[in-house]
Structure 1
Amino acid sequence: MEADGGIGRAGAVRRLAGYSMMAGLLAGLLLVPLAWTAGVGARDSADWLLSEPADLDELKAPQRSQILAADGSLIATFFRQNRVEVPLDEISPAVKQAVLAIEDSRFYEHGALDTRGTVRALMSNLNNSGEGAQGGSGITQQYVKNLLYMNAESEAEKQQAVEITKGRKLRELRYAIAVERRYPKDEILEKYLNIAFFGDHAYGVEAAARRYFSVSASKLNLNQAATLAGILKNGNFYNARLNGEGARNRRDVVLDRMAELGWISREEAAKEKAKPLVLKLTETKNGCTESKAPFFCDYVQREILNNPIFGKTKGERERLLWAGGLKIRTTMDWKTQNAARKALLRHVPARNKEKKAAAQVLVEPGTGEIKGMDVGRELGPDEEPGKTWINFAADASHGTSVGMAAGSTFKAFTLAAAFDEGMPIGERITAPVAYAPTGFRDCKGKNVSDTTELRNSSDGEGGRSFSLLTGTWHSVNTFFLKLEKEVGLCDTVKMAKKLGIRRADGKPLQEFASFTLGFNDVSPLRVAAAYAAFGARGKYCEPIAIKRIDRSDGKKIKVPSANCEQVIDKGVADAVNHVMSGVLTKGTARGLGLGRPAAGKTGTVDNYSAAWFAGYTPELASAVWVGDPRGGYSNPMTNVCLPTHCGGPVYGASIPGPIWQDTMAEALRGVKATGFRRPPSEFFRKGSGEDRVRMPDLRGLKPEAAADKLRAMGMDYRIASSEKHSEYPEGTVASTDPAPGASIDPGDFDTTVVLTVSKGPEPHEEEPPPHEDGPFLPELPFQATPFQVPFLSR
């Protein structure tokens, strides 16, 4: 039996076999045949050890990814390990010295295996009781150990990477030999400093410098450098935030070692040791919940996690996002995003007593780029007031929302289908007060008629004749049901599909007679993208949020394309734009204009279960939804009291319209306005579609006042090139063409009212001027007395 405190030869050998760091290695290399340890044939054991591992190039330290706005500013950061790689020349020299001093002072002198350090560690371990065993691994081996652990996918692989076995140490040595052969010493040190764990979720010296001291690694002073070098021994135990005393004591050990090596003076070490440990913490936010654009961020995240273009399996896509070191440049414009956020919260606050919610998406016509996306709440658990995990702005694949009925915003697709079939703007249809939609067939030819009478909503009207223009302006349900029947239900559905309309739950669009009234559940994103196609004169683009993705090595990753395509004729789109422009001036959304060419459509869903507004300019399109996440039919939008609307039902123009107006006005501030194109003349072959009116009597008005009246009627005018005398005062209107009382079409492009300006009344014939010397007397050929003058006139 061995004496207490003594170490016999047999006991030493047994203890040697159990040490994790170097004893196992030496036992494997010196005492046990390599073939047995590595599990390979004896003849091939040396070749195996010296051969380069096949997966060396695939092993990379996890990098944090960043989602960036269109201007390159940060939206959010994603990481499994908070790491920012930096080159060696951007790391403070004090850090390099401190780390080398405490971890591997002979790093530049030895190869993959530091024999002297290994023997020193072995002898130290043999002469203690088994506690506080020293390791002999140099920086290269530590780098390899970290690399293998961080690339482990399963728990079993992670356990294998840290298990106490000779086989693990030999595997690490094999990789270390390969690394030493491939890279110069400076590059190995750089890799180690960028992969090492410094505690408190900080991986790599740059992340650690920012976390503990709020500076870059290049700005670390000696005291800070020694603190970080000390943490490397055990990132969890010496966490400077959680264990300040332990971190300071370890810092002092590093400073003493640097002085012992002569890299700093004893006096300098003592001076630094006397200083307190001063931290200035900075927390790196991780994921979308901390972002200022959380729902747009979440949309981008889900695009990467769900789209096979970014990886065959979900696991691959998750690794790419959370560890791939990506720079994800998106389409989001902060000006537009902030305008949307501000408008949503102004009209529907996140924590409103009515528990209503609102969502908005803004898409650029002609590119499909999503410029803004928001839900007027915070991203978080639904049970917490003012929060939700559901992105009501997007489809289920990008936010778990199953969509919402879009109401009368769908009437635009029936209108477009009618124009696509050549129907003129002035075509009139009598819209009854109630209408049973019979005679309808879906795209498979199935009869989908309904004998239930449908009526007009409160924001529409019926019982008279409407044109395509006025029927749209007044959003008449029965008019559009009859128009859909004339156009064909299937053609209307096909038009919607051409413009990118999809159900939010991913299922096929349901085809029933009331399709035009918008019963299908869709997302604001799909409606905004469809309306953007009108703004782009019939060019539809799939909505995209990602413009470019760069890897940490500078290589680009393929991203989804907008696949822009001309899906309807430009003239058809121009006709739609012309009609829907009037919705903002003479229709259900009058008063919601932008002071620039714009068009749109209200959408009030049946039973007031939700309200929508979708509108656009040639530069930007937007769709707004307001409703109740708990269910619109059980919690209708009636008698609600919100900051800008209190009492009565909510229509498309009540809350969604003003949200749209506020957002668009701010987003387009400073953006040059362009107009819509005049529709082809063929669409006016039955007139403008406006209800005819009597020409007002403008005579006697100043031309400016007369022009104002005509503009208010939607009439064009011009001033005649010549003036004329009239009974009306000079400078006022003398006459009009058409004449007062004439029946006119105020929207007829071919009718221009001509205003002729008065020169005032015609002047009377002037009397001859009186003679200067008295009464006029004719010259006579003879001398006569006054009594001899002949009688001239009476």
Structure 2
Amino acid sequence: MLVGLLVLPVVCTVGVSVRDSADWLLTEPVDLGDLGTPQRSRILAADNSLIATFFRQNRVDVKLKDIGKNVQDAVLAIEDARFYQHGAIDAKGTFRALMSNLNNGDAEPAQGGSGITQQYVKNLLLVNADSEQERTEAIETTKGRKIRELRYAIAVERTLTKPEILEKYLNVTYYGDGAYGIEAAAQRYFSVSADKLTLNQAATLAGVLKNGNLYNPRRNGEGALKRRNLVFDRMAELGWITPQVAEAEKKKTLRLKLKETPNGCTNSKAAFFCDYVQREILTNPIFGKTPKERERVLWLGGLTIRTTLDWKVQKAAAKALRKHVPEINRDKKAAAEVLVRPGTGEVLGMDVDRALGDNGEPGKTWINFAADQDHGTSIGMPAGSTFKAFTLAAAFEEGMPIGERITAPSGYTPTGFRDCKGRDASDYKAVLRNSAESEGGRSFSLLTGSWHSVNTFFLKLEKRVGLCDTIKMAKKLGIRRADGRPLTENPSFTLGSNDVSPLRVAAAYAAFGARGKYCEPIVLKRITRTDGKNIPVPSAKCEQVMDKGAADAVSHVLRGVLTKGTGQGLGIGRPAAGKTGTVDDYAAAWFAGYTPDLAAAVWVGDPRGGFRHKMRNVCLPTFCGGTVYGASIPGPIWQDTMEAALRGTPESYFRRPPSEFFSKGSGEDSVKMPDLRGMKVDEAIRRLSALRIEFRVNPVRVFDDEYKDGEVADTDPRPGESIDPGDTDLLVTLTVSKGRDPAHGDDHGQPPPPGDTPFETRRPRA
């Protein structure tokens, strides 16, 4: 108070009394309690392991009880030995220093007089400065700044105890090399926590406090040693350690064990997932009204951000992507994959086959091809035939049976289409064709048309269902353009002409796996502030957007894609469904597939532009020389990922669709019953098995004069009759001859043949 009264008349307005000056000094600043130390935020996986840290200042606040006594004694000895004896101002030290500094004018102070409380205030104002002007004001060498510090110091001493002030001081101060606070400094220089620092280590860090840049132990070992030794001399002078201990410690060399704390996503093992989380916080108003507020909460708020990431799934995706499309490849192709848990919206894995970094460096990119533009700057890519699933879903939602058949022409001019505003969306000049000429002019069911991914079939199906109904179904399943613009409503919608992200496709297919329950993709589970309170996070907003039976019908059809369709051979050893996607003119290739437990979408293309750099004559480690289809590279990436991600997980099964979806049969192309007469039973069964149908055999033994004993005399169905391969309850009756009837004579006294053989069940061979 004495020092304040001495100085205030000099710095205050003329005419203000000393009494008023004293009142002003003792008035508590109203904004003092609003200031806190910037903290580093952590992004954690679902198992609470670290994904990444974010900070402007690398700081982790710790309680005083978690800061070793060695540290407290060393800091007090060199900075403010009388801290527990004086108030906000150490009158002796401050008066002595102030008089000396006033005589020196505004030049660099000849000596300091700030106690720990004042230093805490100065550092607190500095770390909370938002502008260069505020930073300058916080450290400027003027009487005005000193008086401001005194005023704040008085307020601090009124509201906090001495141990609380010391704790805050040790947490706020800068220790050089990017380490703010004693915990970060202990980890940075010695790779230990603050409560594990030895006396020598504690003295080293205490010495750094005078100037974190000048006495940085990593950059200036000699200067750090001199400061450390000065701390030991001061501790011995105070009687806090013996002279012998001080001398012994001073002889020790400086032994650093440096530990880096990566900042941001670039060094994370899940860099693109991390980047997505970062953008979710920076773009979502739930975390702040303005971009500046959201940036502060992430980089300075000390958040603990728990996410949905599953390392097993993430690592499976990363390995599969780089196996098939390495970071650096001759053709400069890229790949991305997203995996979502059905029924929850939880994104379990997200990766791109590149490192997150400067686009100009080989094998790196800042663009997250897995996400939408607002979460990764990607404008999306056409998804090709993966969109046919949405037309199929719309057809089943309207009650169309699986066996409904449509003739698919070789070429189709889309006329009679209307968008969701009722406008004519026809393209009278275009002739859209199939990817294989052999597919034209044939009749397909919803089953076989999907298996073979017939373009003209789906265009006609889309017209029958309604273009708008198809678009509405896609929207209900979360499909939107990656660039944020409205979906393009034209007949090519079902062929995947809109630019979308793997994230959106994965989430849509996850809804099929969840029997029509769509959930918005989410990556955040819980965000906790430093005070232990939770910040609300976006909800998955799960909703039943499809009839369960219709969704089951979609899964029933898409399962066959992996066994009898364009994705044949991409099974994963458990019930699964999926759809290939080859973009027009081979601009890109996709695969989307799922089980009831996990859904994934894979894109492979060229970041330079797929229509300029097509997926032809591509040579990659697992595919070289030809045209890339959905089953060529994306399919195997999906297969490898799913097998690894689901390894050890119990199998889950799809539901059989309701019987009304089979009102027109199974939808499989019928086959003719072969003529088995005259064959032995085993030979007849092998012939039936070659048809790749499921059947049961009912052998009936009869006497027959025309066929020998053991030969097939007749069948039911009769030779030449149509058989529905999808009939899982097909019963084939084989009438087997027992030879001539003894009643007709000439039986030569032969005993009767053996009795009937039991039922046999045969399934198609692989």
Cα 1:510/1:42, change in 2 over 3 Å: farther
Give the structure 1 partner of residue 401 of structure 2: 424
Asked whether 1:327 is paired with 2:304, we answer yes
Candidates 592, 605, 620, aligned match of 1:642: 620
Asked whether 1:596 is paired with 2:563, we answer no
Asked whether 1:78 is paired with 2:54, we answer yes
Cα 1:427/1:111, change in 2 over 3 Å: same
Candidates 296, 302, 312, aligned match of 2:289: 312
Give the structure 1 partner of residue 182 of structure 2: 205
Asked whether 1:58 is paired with 2:34, we answer yes
How far apart are the structure 2 equivalents of 1:77 and 1:601?
38
CA displacement at 1:50 relative to structure 2: 2.5
Native 8 Å contact 2:328 2:363 kept in 1:
yes
Q: Which amino acid is the alignment partner of residue 491 of structure 1?
A: D
How far apart are the structure 2 equivalents of 1:384 and 1:39?
66
Where do residues 266-277 of structure 1 align in structure 2 (5 Å cutoff)?
Answer: 266-277=243-254
Identical-pair percentage: 71
CA displacement at 1:131 relative to structure 2: 6.4
How far apart are the structure 2 equivalents of 1:127 and 1:265?
38
CA displacement at 1:588 relative to structure 2: 0.5
Give the structure 2 partner of residue 293 of structure 1: 270
How far apart are the structure 1 equivalents of 2:277 and 2:552?
33
Where do residues 81-96 of structure 1 align in structure 2 (5 Å cutoff)?
Answer: 81-96=57-72
How far apart are the structure 2 equivalents of 1:27 and 1:712?
103
Native 8 Å contact 1:327 1:550 kept in 2:
yes
Asked whether 1:744 is paired with 2:720, we answer no
Candidates 642, 653, 658, aligned match of 1:680: 658
Q: How big is each residue's C-alpha offset from its partner over 1:52-109, in whole Å with a ceiling of 9 and x where there is no partner?
A: 3222222110000000000000000000111111111221211111000000101111
Asked whether 1:622 is paired with 2:600, we answer yes
Give the structure 2 partner of residue 159 of structure 1: 136
Native 8 Å contact 2:277 2:524 kept in 1:
yes
CA displacement at 1:48 relative to structure 2: 3.4
How far apart are the structure 2 equivalents of 1:553 and 1:712?
69
Native 8 Å contact 1:736 1:753 kept in 2:
no
CA displacement at 1:415 relative to structure 2: 0.8
How far apart are the structure 1 equivalents of 2:481 and 2:656?
33
Q: Which amino acid is the alignment partner of residue 348 of structure 2?
A: K
Candidates 574, 580, 583, aligned match of 2:558: 580
Give the structure 2 partner of residue 244 of structure 1: 221
How far apart are the structure 2 equivalents of 1:424 and 1:38?
93
Q: How big is each residue's C-alpha offset from its partner over 1:412-434, in whole Å with a ceiling of 9 and x where there is no partner?
A: 11111111111111111111100
How far apart are the structure 2 equivalents of 1:278 and 1:632?
55
Native 8 Å contact 1:459 1:588 kept in 2:
no
- Aligned with 1:585: secondary structure? helix
CA displacement at 1:181 relative to structure 2: 1.8
Structure 1: which 5+ residue stretches go unaligned? Answer: 1-24, 770-794
Candidates 466, 472, 475, aligned match of 1:494: 472
CA displacement at 1:218 relative to structure 2: 1.2
Q: How big is each residue's C-alpha offset from its partner over 1:28-69, in whole Å with a ceiling of 9 and x where there is no partner?
A: 531433882699886654443323322222211000000000
CA displacement at 1:364 relative to structure 2: 0.7
Give the structure 2 partner of residue 433 of structure 1: 410
CA displacement at 1:742 relative to structure 2: 3.4
Larger CA deviation: 56-65 vs 361-370: 56-65
Candidates 549, 572, 577, aligned match of 1:571: 549
TM-score under structure 2 length normalisation: 0.91
Q: How big is each residue's C-alpha offset from its partner over 1:656-678, in whole Å with a ceiling of 9 and x where there is no partner?
A: 00000000111011111111111
Larger CA deviation: 177-186 vs 137-146: 177-186
Give the structure 1 partner of residue 763 of structure 2: none
Asked whether 1:524 is paired with 2:502, we answer yes
Q: Number of residues paired by the alignment?
A: 741
Native 8 Å contact 1:408 1:604 kept in 2:
yes
How far apart are the structure 2 equivalents of 1:591 and 1:306?
42
Candidates 69, 78, 82, aligned match of 1:106: 82
Give the structure 1 partner of residue 761 of structure 2: none
Native 8 Å contact 1:86 1:194 kept in 2:
yes
Asked whether 1:395 is paired with 2:365, we answer no
Larger CA deviation: 83-92 vs 285-294: 83-92
Asked whether 1:117 is paired with 2:93, we answer yes
Candidates 355, 363, 370, aligned match of 1:378: 355
Candidates 527, 537, 543, aligned match of 2:515: 537
- Aligned with 1:366: secondary structure? coil
Give the structure 2 partner of residue 348 of structure 1: 325
Where do residues 716-731 of structure 1 align in structure 2 (5 Å cutoff)?
Answer: 717-718=695-696
Cα 1:493/1:767, change in 2 over 3 Å: closer
- Aligned with 1:393: secondary structure? coil
Candidates 49, 71, 79, aligned match of 2:25: 49
How far apart are the structure 1 equivalents of 2:85 and 2:190?
32
How far apart are the structure 2 equivalents of 1:723 and 1:38?
122
Candidates 39, 44, 49, aligned match of 1:68: 44
- Aligned with 1:593: secondary structure? coil
Give the structure 1 partner of residue 692 of structure 2: 713
Q: How big is each residue's C-alpha offset from its partner over 1:728-785, in whole Å with a ceiling of 9 and x where there is no partner?
A: 9999999875455432101135x4225779898799789799xxxxxxxxxxxxxxxx
How far apart are the structure 1 equivalents of 2:109 and 2:708?
111
Asked whether 1:339 is paired with 2:316, we answer yes
Q: Which amino acid is the alignment partner of residue 343 of structure 1?
A: A
Cα 1:651/1:50, change in 2 over 3 Å: same
Native 8 Å contact 1:340 1:373 kept in 2:
yes
CA displacement at 1:245 relative to structure 2: 0.4
Native 8 Å contact 2:4 2:25 kept in 1:
no
- Aligned with 1:611: secondary structure? strand
Give the structure 1 partner of residue 339 of structure 2: 362
How far apart are the structure 2 equivalents of 1:118 and 1:27?
8
Give the structure 1 partner of residue 167 of structure 2: 190
Q: Which amino acid is the alignment partner of residue 62 of structure 1?
A: P
How far apart are the structure 2 equivalents of 1:458 and 1:39?
96
How far apart are the structure 2 equivalents of 1:188 and 1:603?
63
Give the structure 1 partner of residue 459 of structure 2: 481
Cα 1:726/1:381, change in 2 over 3 Å: farther
Native 8 Å contact 2:5 2:18 kept in 1:
no
Q: Which amino acid is the alignment partner of residue 386 of structure 2?
A: T
CA displacement at 1:216 relative to structure 2: 1.2
Asked whether 1:222 is paired with 2:190, we answer no
How far apart are the structure 2 equivalents of 1:140 and 1:90?
20
Q: Which amino acid is the alignment partner of residue 82 of structure 1?
A: N
Q: Which amino acid is the alignment partner of residue 722 of structure 2?
A: S
Q: How big is each residue's C-alpha offset from its partner over 1:126-165, in whole Å with a ceiling of 9 and x where there is no partner?
A: 8999766221111111111111111121222222222233
How far apart are the structure 2 equivalents of 1:447 and 1:387?
44
How far apart are the structure 2 equivalents of 1:51 and 1:707?
99
- Aligned with 1:320: secondary structure? helix
Q: Which amino acid is the alignment partner of residue 647 of structure 1?
A: G
Native 8 Å contact 1:607 1:633 kept in 2:
yes
How far apart are the structure 2 equivalents of 1:348 and 1:660?
13
Q: How big is each residue's C-alpha offset from its partner over 1:301-346, in whole Å with a ceiling of 9 and x where there is no partner?
A: 0000000000001111011000111110000100000000000000
Give the structure 2 partner of residue 7 of structure 1: none
Cα 1:371/1:120, change in 2 over 3 Å: same
Q: Which amino acid is the alignment partner of residue 328 of structure 1?
A: I
Cα 1:273/1:485, change in 2 over 3 Å: same
Asked whether 1:554 is paired with 2:524, we answer no
- Aligned with 1:72: secondary structure? coil
CA displacement at 1:520 relative to structure 2: 0.5
Q: Which amino acid is the alignment partner of residue 527 of structure 2?
A: I
- Aligned with 1:289: secondary structure? coil
TM-score under structure 1 length normalisation: 0.88
CA displacement at 1:719 relative to structure 2: 6.2
Cα 1:361/1:279, change in 2 over 3 Å: same
Candidates 625, 642, 649, aligned match of 1:664: 642
CA displacement at 1:358 relative to structure 2: 0.3
